[in-house]
Structure 1
């Protein structure tokens, strides 16, 4: 197991470009990472990294070694994870990434059932709206509406990803009617700015007949958080374009209303992403299956479909 830890530290350090970042991803100290890598180098008799105060780069031998061990290390880790299951049941720490509001409202409610069914699994759930590198950051799974399928990662669809226009009754009662998409140009827009790119993405509305039209809603207010956008719309300050899962609690309680209810933005699918490896850890498979079951029992796919 000591050699396995050394290999893991080596691969993570090579991917991250530093012992400090590798340590953060592994949950240990930078000194421990450096020590494990040094032991591995002593064991194989080859220097794997060129170290300086400012950088950490692979030697030529290190680059060859990384290509040879990366895939095999993943196979061994998954096999060990399955062997380590408690009394034949899924076990171990389950590291999952999900959005803050989405995870709290739609994933967290399944936790009690999940723990009762799999008591040997320890959830390590990260609520963060930033995209993650599933493999490089050591996540077992991630739930997202827009994630690149990098090599070694697969997705299982959970529900449609739709965006809708919402506003408060107070706002709509004091402004000109919105009967067709073209009317939006005369209104106040509350739009979402990507925290990654800093841009407000142009979206296209679609109706049930698959007609499409560009959204022309002046961006009077921009937010990076969809829940904040919903609350701003709730205050009567404009029309917000937000994902339906974020809008649903406000729609259900009646504090927001759909604007142009026959129109929506098709943003693909909400999915759970995980390793494509054949030896998928039992804990990850258990989580994915339980998540799919939860979405089905709560009828979330239909609720998110507009």
Structure 2
């Protein structure tokens, strides 16, 4: 009878098309994954992969075998995880993807008390400005916005993702503030070039009456990172459009001021994403519950709402 390690190595290699990528997901070496797959092929008496220096490709027998075992493997893994930790402490590596500025400002400070409560969990947190493939890349969870809700993924809304215009008090001193977003063109604009599209990101802002106006920023300074956008605004270089969570500490300290207090753009929601398995590992479940509790305790849903002015 095949071992779970052999089957996992085969399925993950088939999904990723690479022993190396499968090894990263399984916390093994590529050589170990290759040995597991070779042992599986030897035991079955069939070749499951066509191997080349560039990639792996399933043979016809490999395709049939993958279709037969992949769903059953997931159920078996869930059953093992549920039974092995149900009565004990949550344990294991917790791989999470977070937007850098948001993650460092609002989620990293939660880690000390989380680890004090769950000392056998080992965080592996990736701070990255991209929407990861939670399932395919082996993440336990991701927090952010703009993720495609692919089959097998759950999104739990945490707070609104509202965009507001901000600038430093020093920059605004002596200037006549605009009364609507189109007036921003008269000021120095700090804008962001999208990493995914290569284009300058534009926003349509709205107010409580339902009016919608495009924010016309002059491209005085161009950056490609929200943290750099915020710091440039804080240094008095102009006006920037940023998500409320990214600038909340600066707004509360007075380092930044809202330029159009009654206007905001809606970028969707900040959500917690995780695989829609019936039996989540306890490490993932306690993390989800902890984050939801923290958002409620810190009143982030209200504090992140740019619509409140």
Please classify the TM superposition score into its range, dividing by the shorter chain length: over 0.9
Tell me what 1:207 maps to.
Answer: 207
Aligned length: 306
Which stretches in structure 2 are left out of the alignment for 5+ residues?
A: none
Instruction: Please say which of residues 274-283 and 15-24 is displaced more in the overlay.
Output: 15-24
* Aligned ranges 1:145-224 → 2 under 5 Å: 145-224=145-224
Q: Name the CA shift for 1:200/1:26 in 2 (closer, same or farther; >3 Å).
A: farther
Quote the offset at 1:255 in angstroms. Answer: 1.2
CA distance in 2, matches of 1:169, 1:269: 29
Tell me what 1:288 maps to.
Answer: 288
Q: Secondary structure at the match of 1:94?
A: strand
Query: Is the Cα contact below 8 Å between 2:180 and 2:213 reproduced in 1?
Result: no
Q: Name the CA shift for 1:87/1:277 in 2 (closer, same or farther; >3 Å).
A: closer
Query: Is the Cα contact below 8 Å between 1:96 and 1:142 reproduced in 2?
Result: yes
**Given the two structures, how large is their TM-score scaled by the length of structure 1?**
0.94
Tell me what 1:113 maps to.
Answer: 113
Which stretches in structure 1 are left out of the alignment for 5+ residues?
A: none
* Aligned ranges 1:227-242 → 2 under 5 Å: 227-242=227-242
> Is 1:255 aligned with 2:260?
no
Query: Is the Cα contact below 8 Å between 1:190 and 1:238 reproduced in 2?
Result: yes
Query: Is the Cα contact below 8 Å between 2:99 and 2:128 reproduced in 1?
Result: yes
CA distance in 2, matches of 1:2, 1:252: 59
Query: Is the Cα contact below 8 Å between 2:182 and 2:214 reproduced in 1?
Result: no
| CA-to-aligned-CA distance 1:230-260 (integer Å, 9 cap, x gap) | 1111122111011111111111111111010
Query: Is the Cα contact below 8 Å between 1:192 and 1:242 reproduced in 2?
Result: no
* Aligned ranges 1:56-135 → 2 under 5 Å: 56-85=56-85, 87-135=87-135
Query: Is the Cα contact below 8 Å between 2:205 and 2:266 reproduced in 1?
Result: yes
CA distance in 1, matches of 2:193, 2:67: 38
Q: Name the CA shift for 1:129/1:2 in 2 (closer, same or farther; >3 Å).
A: farther
Quote the offset at 1:222 in angstroms. Answer: 1.8
Moved over 6 A (4+): none
Instruction: Please say which of residues 116-125 and 211-220 is displaced more in the overlay.
Output: 116-125
Tell me what 1:46 maps to.
Answer: 46
Quote the offset at 1:287 in angstroms. Answer: 0.8
Quote the offset at 1:69 in angstroms. Answer: 2.1
Instruction: Please say which of residues 117-126 and 10-19 is displaced more in the overlay.
Output: 117-126
**Given the two structures, how large is their TM-score scaled by the length of structure 2?**
0.93
Query: Is the Cα contact below 8 Å between 1:84 and 1:91 reproduced in 2?
Result: no
